Structures are given as structure tokens and as C-alpha cells.
């Protein structure tokens, strides 16, 4: 069972003092584990509009809105695509994946390593997908 206290949430996300300012500001809202709210707060913090995030993520508009409105639970790949669409840093993406209950990107996985490279270089989804498919991996 997930620990819903502030300390439990920070511990479960493996947050360091350097990169938990966002979570510290929003810990009460996020303690219920609501992924849609977490994404909404990230977009608010970065002053991003939902249509732009969905467009930048390269996903179907209807499906993207269903995820952002909490009606659908995304796959790990769709969540990564949303992270790219929001221009999240690698650390922010790792926290998002962990918050959603997915495994973080793992550098020893060749596919995850390509995705991490794309995040670090702020590449758009289409370029990350091109790198993935050129190495015979499924696209996001």
C-alpha cells in the first residue's frame, strides 16, 4: 500500500533536495496519487496549454485529452511522450514515471538510453521516435 504522507510520497519518488521544490509546493494535492492532477500541476508550473502538450507529444488528440482529464491511464510510452511534449527534464520525467507506478528509465536498457538521450537533448517526439526506429525499437 502506498504511503500517502508527505515524507512517504517524497521517499517513494526518490526525491533529492535539489529537485523536489515542485513536489514540496504541491505535496498536499498530490498525496492522493492522482496522475492527472500531477500532470496538470506540472503544466501549470511550466505555463503549458493542454492542446500544445498533446500536439508536441505526437499522440492522438482525443486520447491525449482523455489522459490529461484523468479518464484514461496512459501506458509508460504514452507518459514518456507526454513528458517530451511538456519538455520535462530527465529528472522530472523519472519522477512522473515513478508517480504513475511505472519503472523509471533505465540506462542499461538500450531503448531507455535512447529516450534518455532525447530528453537530455530536448529532442521532439518525432526525432526520438526516429532514433528508436532506426535501431529497430518500437516508437513511443
Q: Which fold has domain 34-134?
A: 434 Repressor (Amino-terminal Domain) (1.10.260)
Spell out the per-residue pLDDT of the chain, length 140, in tens.
344 444 554 455 454 444 556 666 655 555 567 899 889 888 988 899 999 999 999 999 999 999 999 999 999 999 999 999 999 999 999 989 998 999 999 999 999 999 999 999 999 999 999 999 999 999 99
Cα→Cα distances 70→11, 66, 73, Å: 24, 6, 7
> Which of helix, strand or coil describes residue 116?
helix
What residue ranges do the domains of the chain occupy? Answer: 34-134
> Which of helix, strand or coil describes residue 23?
helix
Cα gap 115→132, rounded to integer Å? 8
pTM (predicted TM-score)? 0.80
Count of CB atoms within 10 A of residue 88's CB? 20
With beta carbons less than 8 A apart as the criterion, state whether 13 and 98 touch. Answer: yes
Q: What is the pLDDT of residues 64-84, one digit of tens each?
A: 999 999 999 999 999 999 999
Amino acid at each position: 500500500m502506498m504511503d500517502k504522507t508527505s515524507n512517504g510520497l517524497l521517499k517513494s519518488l526518490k526525491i533529492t533536495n535539489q529537485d523536489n521544490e515542485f513536489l514540496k509546493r504541491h505535496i498536499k494535492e498530490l498525496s492522493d496519487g492522482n496522475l492527472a492532477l500531477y500532470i496538470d500541476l506540472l503544466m501549470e508550473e511550466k505555463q503549458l496549454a493542454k492542446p500544445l502538450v498533446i500536439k508536441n507529444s505526437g499522440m492522438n488528440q482525443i486520447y491525449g485529452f482523455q489522459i490529461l482529464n484523468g479518464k484514461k491511464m496512459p501506458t509508460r510510452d504514452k507518459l514518456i511522450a507526454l513528458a517530451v511534449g511538456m519538455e520535462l527534464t530527465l529528472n522530472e520525467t523519472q519522477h512522473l514515471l515513478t508517480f504513475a507506478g511505472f519503472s523509471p528509465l533505465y540506462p542499461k536498457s538500450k531503448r531507455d538510453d535512447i529516450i534518455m538521450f532525447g530528453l537530455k537533448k530536448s529532442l521532439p517526439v518525432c526525432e526520438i521516435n526516429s532514433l528508436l526506429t532506426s535501431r529497430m525499437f518500437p516508437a513511443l
